[in-house]
Amino acid sequence: MDASHDTARRPQDDGLESTQVKLSRAYLIATSAFTVAVAVAVQLSLGQPLVTAAVVVLVFALGMFVSRMVLDHTFAPFDDLVEQAERFAKGERPVVFTEHPYCEEVVDLERSLNRILSEMSKADEELRAEEERQAQFVSDVSHEIRTPLTAIQGTAETLMDPDMPQEMREKFLSNIIDESQRLTRLANDLLTLNRIEGASGEVEMRRLNLRELADATAISLAALFEERQVSLTVTGEAPDIMGNADRIRQVITNLAENASRFAPKNGHVRIKLQGIGGNSVLSVSDDGPGFGDVDPARLFDRFYRADSSRARGRGTGGTGLGLAIVKAIVEQHNGTVEAVNLPERGACFITAFPSLGPADDDR
């Protein structure tokens, strides 16, 4: 394979060398002709052979020196192009073609090559990021499904005991159902998150009224909050935003549902809307214990749980993906999301989206 590679390159090398030889020969002929002309002129004007010979040698040497400098100057950009191209072919990064301002055509070529290399490097980085994301996705799935599958398998093996009391049997069957439902929620959340993070096409956007979406979400969550004995209120107004209605509702749903899991019995979850500094701000707060000294940024990592015993202790079956989905959707809408512990008690999750003015048209 090396031989064929060398063979493939040889015609190009020979072509380049031939061009250099031709130019060198042309410069040599020109220098010789110029030297002869100078010698004739000196001889005719002075009539002294020794002086003429000295002038001829000096002029010829100077001509060859100038010719060599001109050749090196002419081919330096091409030598640099070849060197950088070979580095790129070997996989070295980054590679930048140096611009030579004294050769306009070469400068144009180098600029074009630099743009191509920049686009290729960007594509390589995006590909590596996508591969890492997919690898992390597979790792997360395999890790998270292990626990419920182990529970289902252990429970099913226990049920094989023919002498098990009916009451105990029903309890174990209920456990299998719970773990199966947890697996279903986990699969749905993983697919949702993967679809959002890997979205390649444009998401349908339109003008949205956040108060209308918050009120609709509160109505849809009424039964869940009643079951958990937590109240849910919506207050305030915020300027319209440009967004996807389904995904913004999912943000509100996930934040409110998450808050309800940590609010105490007969506790409160509050959705507050307001406009601040050109942003439409939607915050969801609860009066639970907060998340302590945990780094707030980690709350939005996949499967991270600030207090797993508190989150799971009420049988709500959280998957650990709700806040990661919130972060992905908010960033998809050019917004921000953060979490803070409230001074009095509880946690507050704050999302901010660019506001639309009254004259802004739907896209």
Mapping DSSP onto H, E and C, the string for 226-263 reads HHCCEEEEEEECCCCEEECHHHHHHHHHHHHHHHHHHC
Domain boundary, last residue among 197, 231, 265: 197
> Highest mean pLDDT range out of 36-40, 130-134, 212-216?
212-216
CA distance 248 to 329: 7
CA distance 208 to 1: 61
pLDDT over 70, % of the chain: 62
Number of structural domains the chain divides into: 3
Q: Is 210 exposed, middle or buried (0-12, 13-18, 19+ CB in 10 A)?
A: buried
- Report yes or no: 252 and 337 within 8 Å, Cβ to Cβ: no
| pLDDT band of 293, cuts 50, 70, 90 | confident
Segment 54-78 shows an average pLDDT of 61
In a domain, 119, yes or no: no
Burial state string for 40-52 with b = 16 or more CB within 10 A and e = fewer than 16: eebbeeeeeeeeb
- Report yes or no: 232 and 253 within 8 Å, Cβ to Cβ: no
Closest CA to 206 of 252, 248, 235: 248
Same-domain check for residues 84 and 153: no
Check pLDDT > 90 for residue 152: no
Same-domain check for residues 215 and 338: yes
pLDDT score at 72: 58
- Beta-ladder partners of 121: none
Check pLDDT > 50 for residue 285: yes
Q: Please report, to the nearest 10 degrees, the dihedral formed by the alpha carbons of residues 133, 134, 138, 140 taken in order.
A: 20
Tokens 């919130």 label which residue? Answer: 326
Q: How far apart are the first and last CA of the chain?
A: 55
Same-domain check for residues 23 and 86: yes
* Cα-only R_g, the chain: 37
Which amino acid, residue 61? A
Give, for 181, the enclosing helix (H) or strand (E): helix 166-197
Same-domain check for residues 251 and 322: yes
pLDDT score at 123: 78
Query: What CATH number should be reported for the domain holding residue 235?
Result: 3.30.565.10
Same-domain check for residues 244 and 304: yes
Query: For the whole model, what pTM was predicted?
Result: 0.57
Same-domain check for residues 65 and 169: no
pLDDT over 90, % of the chain: 26
Same-domain check for residues 11 and 87: yes
pLDDT score at 5: 45
Segment 191-217 shows an average pLDDT of 81
Same-domain check for residues 302 and 230: yes
Give, for 88, the enclosing helix (H) or strand (E): helix 49-89
* Total residues found in the chain within this entry: 363
Same-domain check for residues 288 and 193: no
In a domain, 130, yes or no: no
In a domain, 35, yes or no: yes
> Highest mean pLDDT range out of 13-22, 109-118, 336-345?
336-345
Segment 206-221 shows an average pLDDT of 94
CA distance 287 to 265: 10
Orientation of helix 104-159 relative to helix 166-197, angle to 10°? 170
Average pLDDT over all residues of the chain: 75
Same-domain check for residues 314 and 210: yes
Check pLDDT > 80 for residue 47: no
pLDDT score at 311: 45
In a domain, 132, yes or no: no
Domain boundary, last residue among 39, 62, 95: 95
> Highest mean pLDDT range out of 54-58, 187-191, 267-271?
267-271
Same-domain check for residues 226 and 327: yes
Task: Using alpha carbons, list the distances in angstroms from residue 107 to 74, 87, 99, 117.
Answer: 13, 19, 5, 15
Which amino acid, residue 69? M
pLDDT digits (tens, 9 = 90+) for 335-357: 999 999 998 889 999 999 999 98
**The domain containing residue 191 runs over which residues?**
143-197
Closest CA to 322 of 336, 334, 305: 305
In a domain, 111, yes or no: no
Same-domain check for residues 187 and 316: no
Query: What CATH number should be reported for the domain holding residue 189?
Result: 1.10.287.130
Domain boundary, last residue among 38, 65, 95: 95
In a domain, 113, yes or no: no
